[in-house]
């Protein structure tokens, strides 16, 4: 995830006005710390993909004007300059801009890279740009809603012949097996047992009956333990069925309306014999292809798919079923998916899965639905 500009209003249509102060307190503030930047800079998959995308496709940068949206430490702006850019505008909403400015100067690039502290919606550039580069991806790609600001930057500042880095993105999902669900259910049950003891003791010792709050407490804890998606580093052998694409994005043409709500109907076939369907695993990839009229010399992919030893700081998002369902090779899953932004915080997501299972042998398992929160 990049260090972000302040999305005070959504570009490309759609979305409500966001209170800048609240948004900064809830979200941007963490990106002003070097420890957070270091976590991303230590992600070798992330770093190698952007490094290779820039330096094997120098034709997109040499002599060109580049805009880095949410520059953070300034690493992408520095690479763009090293690849031969004539001018780089590096925009950053947080005080990390001061560190980026120092880093640019320490690398003797201050005559090429101009660090601008401010939100992309509010700043003004003296010229249009040939390239927009940004590391805008959040968990499950769209958490954090950073792409809104990239769209705004594109619509305001990219030349008609310009290119986007990355140029394309996809969201993936697959059925998985995992032992984490039992632990989360155990934690939930332990919490509810503790609540029951609390209610009994409060009535016994203090004469106040708290049981009227038991239902809202249970709903609160159920959301926390059982319905909130988990960050995980899945092993490929935890994927038990065929993968499917939920969403494809062309960064050159997508609008905010295109990503406000993601809907998909997909099918997956179980590929393991006699296993447990414990939930869904979700991840994303992005591609650096240039544009049709000006393609990359070499396409680079950054993927956050389950990996044996090459994971990213994004990991995967895991949506667990309680309880798991026994499935077998050849069983077919028919899944309907939807993802919307939270009403309380536009940078968080609410996800709905509904699934019908057609076993190879046996009776149809009727459609069941689950709601999850990406927080």
Residues known to be catalytic: 135, 144
Cα 87 to Cα 129: distance, rounded to the nearest angstrom: 9
Contacting residues for 267 by C-beta, under 8 A, at least 6 apart: 242, 244, 332, 333, 334, 335
The Cα 285–Cα 176 span in angstroms is 18
Contact 288, 195 (CB under 8 A): no
Of 319, 282, 271, residue with least CA distance to 304? 282
Q: Which residues contact 170 (CB under 8 A, 6 or more apart)?
A: 245, 247, 248, 249, 284, 285, 286
Contact predicate 70/4, CB 8 Å:
yes
Q: Which of 304, 296, 288 is nearest to 143 (CA)?
A: 304
CA atoms of 307 and 197, how far apart (whole Å): 43
Distance CA 335, CA 319 (A): 13
The DSSP code for 20 is: H
Task: Output the six-digit token pair for 120.
Answer: 């992309």
**CA proximity to 158, closest of 197, 190, 127, 124:** 127
Instruction: Kindly state the tokens that stand for 60.
Output: 């997109």
CA pair distance 321, 180, nearest whole angstrom: 10
H or E element that contains 372 = strand 365-374
Asked if 310 and 201 count as a contact pair (C-beta separation under 8 A), the reply is no
Taking the C-alpha atoms of residue 275 and residue 296, their distance in angstroms, rounded to an integer, is 42
| CA distance readout (Å), 157 to 6, 92, 144, 341, 347 | 17, 16, 22, 27, 24
Length, in residues, of the chain? 375
């Amino acid at each position: 995830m990049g260090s972000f500009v302040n999305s005070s209003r959504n570009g490309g249509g759609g979305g409500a006005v966001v209170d800048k102060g609240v948004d900064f307190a809830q979200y941007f503030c963490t990106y002003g710390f070097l420890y957070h930047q270091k976590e991303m800079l230590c992600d070798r998959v992330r770093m190698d993909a952007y490094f290779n995308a820039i330096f094997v496709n120098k034709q997109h940068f040499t002599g060109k004007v580049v805009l880095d949206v949410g520059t953070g430490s300034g690493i992408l702006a520095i690479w763009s300059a090293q690849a031969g850019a004539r001018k780089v505008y590096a925009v950053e909403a947080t005080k990390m801009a001061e560190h980026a400015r120092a880093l640019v100067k320490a690398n003797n690039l201050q005559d090429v890279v101009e660090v601008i502290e401010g939100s992309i919606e509010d700043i003004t550039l003296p010229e249009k740009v040939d390239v927009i580069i940004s590391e805008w991806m959040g968990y499950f790609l769209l958490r954090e809603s950073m792409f809104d600001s990239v769209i705004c930057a594109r619509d305001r500042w990219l030349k008609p012949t310009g290119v986007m880095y990355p140029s394309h993105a996809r969201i993936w999902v697959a059925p998985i097996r995992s032992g984490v669900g039992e632990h989360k259910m155990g934690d939930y049950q332990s919490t509810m047992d503790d609540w029951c003891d609390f209610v009994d003791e409060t009535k016994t010792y203090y004469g106040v009956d708290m049981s009227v709050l038991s239902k809202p407490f249970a709903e609160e804890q159920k959301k926390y333990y059982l319905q909130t998606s988990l960050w995980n580093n899945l092993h490929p052998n935890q994927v038990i069925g065929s993968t499917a694409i939920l969403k494809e994005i062309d960064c050159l043409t997508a609008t905010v309306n295109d990503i406000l709500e993601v809907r998909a109907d997909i099918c997956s076939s179980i590929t393991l014999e006699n296993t447990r369907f414990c939930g869904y695993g979700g991840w994303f990839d992005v591609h650096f292809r240039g544009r049709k009229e000006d393609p990359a010399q070499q396409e680079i992919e950054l993927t956050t798919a389950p990996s044996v030893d090459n994971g990213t700081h994004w990991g995967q998002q895991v949506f667990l079923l309680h309880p798991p369902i026994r499935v077998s090779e050849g069983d077919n899953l028919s899944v309907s998916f939807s993802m919307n932004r939270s009403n309380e915080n536009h940078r968080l997501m609410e996800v709905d899965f509904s699934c019908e299972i057609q076993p190879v042998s046996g009776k149809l398992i009727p459609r069941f639905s689950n709601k999850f929160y990406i927080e």
